[in-house]
Structure 1
């Protein structure tokens, strides 16, 4: 078996697509429209990874509450300090740079337009 994708529901597909592409460097891998069922699936991935993030947009405009069981997805970046600063300067909602111990990887969180958390971890 292999890990294929994670699906999240979004309120505004264009806004979410722009965030994931511009802020985090995702690219569209495929898109499926289901007008008869009133939803669109947009699959995004990072350049060097086969794993996909599926954004599901329902046409009826329903509102979603992020459950308390959801934590976050995680991605890595080679230069975490400058990447975080770049995102902060662009006005994105990012946390301070943290580490669990002196010897652990550094990380920060950024929120997407729907409030989903993405952890960005520094690559060793």
Structure 2
């Protein structure tokens, strides 16, 4: 078994595709309208779905906003240089909600960004920034390349 995709509901599909593709650097893998059900599905990711997990953006035509609730956490992306990635995300108009740095109670370097609907995306440093960085508490991360 492997993870195929994670689904999130979005209020403006074009805005969300723009964020995930233009700000985070993913690719639009596929998109399909379902007129009978009045919804559209778009899949974005860093590579072919046969070998890489994707994010399914579900757009219900009659809903422009969702309550996020308190059960959902975040999507995590592994990045070789989160400091550079956060600077690029800001330059592309993205919102960094937690600047890069060590996590509380550990040494793994993380940052958080927020998509247009308020979903949190954690960026996890996959390569140590210096020789003092420990990797013993590093969580598995998806490669961005």
- Say if 1:64 and 1:101 are closer, same or farther in 2 by CA, change over 3 A: closer
Are the structure 2 counterparts of residues 68 and 101 from structure 1 closer, same or farther at C-alpha, using a change threshold of 3 Å? closer
2:82 equivalent among 63, 80, 84: 80
Q: CA RMSD in A?
A: 1.8
Give the one of 121, 126, 131 matched to 1:123: 126
Aligned-pair CA distance for 1:102: 8.6
Between Structure 1 and Structure 2, whose CA radius of gyration is higher?
Answer: 2
**Runs of 5+ unmatched residues, structure 1:** none
| Whole-angstrom distance in 1 between the partners of 2:104 and 2:65 | 38
Deviates more, 1:60-69 or 1:82-91: 82-91
TM-score, with structure 2 as normaliser: 0.78
* Structure 1 range deviating more: 13-22 or 47-56: 47-56
Residue among 106, 110, 113 paired with 2:113: 110
Q: Which runs of 5+ in 2 are unaligned?
A: 128-145
The offset of 1:47, in angstroms, is 3.1
Equivalent in the alignment of 2:40: 40
Measured after TM superposition, the shift of residue 62 of structure 1 is 4.4
Where does residue 5 of structure 1 map in the other structure?
A: 5
Deviation, structure 1 residue 101: 6.0
Aligned residues: 124
SS in 2 for 1:115: coil
Structure-1-length-normalised TM-score: 0.90
Deviation at residue 106 of structure 1 after TM alignment: 0.9
- Name the structure 1 match of 2:24: 24
